[in-house]
Structure 1
Amino acid sequence: MTEIERKFLVKSDAFKSDAYQKTRIVQGFLNTNPERTVRIRVNGPQAFLTVKGKSSENGLSRFEWEKEIEVEEAENLLKLCEPGIIEKDRYLVKNQDHIFEVDEFHGQNKGLIIAEIELKSEEDKFLKPLWVGEEVTGDNRYYNSQLSKKPYKNW
């Protein structure tokens, strides 16, 4: 499966009043090689093992495979992850036919807020809310796998 998404910095917390769901996420990486990242994520009451391939040249798309696993299994696998566990709150915000996933980071990445939108194609059009700022699609610094190694607080 190919994942097509765009990423943006968030200018204000106005998205919070539009959010219809908020979930706490804890995730770590078994492998952060840009050719293939392997992520463990506990997302509220669910957990997932995810493998992502290398991003396209423009950063908009890449292969993604995901499998739900037991939370207990994920918690044990998190203990094997590379240093730099990511903690964040994810807000879901409906925007016409799309949903923005807005991640408010904690810990070493506190102060960083990123909005992502998954698209059906690279040409898919969407309305950009006022709280959405600069586009950072394709900027590797904003990949969670890189934030686990080089946290936002150290930039």
Structure 2
Amino acid sequence: MIEIERKFLVKSEAYQAVATSKTRIAQGFLNTEAERTVRVRIKDNQGFITVKGKSNATGTSRFEWEKEISFSEATDLIDLCKPVILEKIRYEVPFANHLFEVDRFLGENKGLVIAEVELAHEDEHFEKPQWLGKEVTGDVRYYNSQLSKKPFAEW
């Protein structure tokens, strides 16, 4: 499956007032090579393992495969992950026929807030809410796999 998404910094907390859900996430990486990443995620009491391929030239598209695993399997795999384990609160925010996922990072990435929107194709038009800031699609510093290696606090 191909994932197509764009990433933006968030410039205000206005998204929180219109969010339809809020979830705590912990995730770690078993592999962070440029050609592929392998992520383990705990989302509330659910576990997931995800494999992502290398991004295209613009950073908007890449292969993604995800499978739900048991909470205990995810917990065991998180223990094998490279430091830093990412912690964040994810807000789901519907806006103008699209769903924005806004991640407010905690721990060593505290202060960083990123919104992502998944698209059907790379050129798909979408309206941008006022709280959306600078686009960072394709900037590898903002990839979760890179934030686990060089947290926002170290920039």
- What TM-score does the superposition give when structure 1 sets the normalisation length? 0.99
The answer to whether 1:46 aligns with 2:69 is no
Which residue identity does 1:84 align to in structure 2? Answer: V
Q: Distance in 1 between matches of 2:100 and 2:45?
A: 21
The aligned length equals 155
Q: Distance in 2 between matches of 1:69 and 1:81?
A: 16
- What TM-score does the superposition give when structure 2 sets the normalisation length? 0.99
Q: Distance in 2 between matches of 1:5 and 1:44?
A: 23
Measured on the aligned residues, the alpha-carbon RMSD in Å equals 0.5
Q: Distance in 1 between matches of 2:71 and 2:97?
A: 31
Q: Distance in 2 between matches of 1:46 and 1:3?
A: 21
Moved over 2 A (4+): none
Aligned sequence identity (%): 63
The answer to whether 1:99 aligns with 2:99 is yes
The answer to whether 1:12 aligns with 2:22 is no
Match of 2:32 in 1: 32
**Structure 2: gaps spanning 5 or more residues:** none
Which residue identity does 1:31 align to in structure 2? Answer: N
Q: Distance in 1 between matches of 2:69 and 2:12?
A: 34
Equivalent position SS for 1:137: coil
Q: Distance in 1 between matches of 2:23 and 2:45?
A: 9
**Structure 1: gaps spanning 5 or more residues:** none
Q: Distance in 2 between matches of 1:3 and 1:27?
A: 19
Which residue identity does 2:150 align to in structure 1? Answer: K
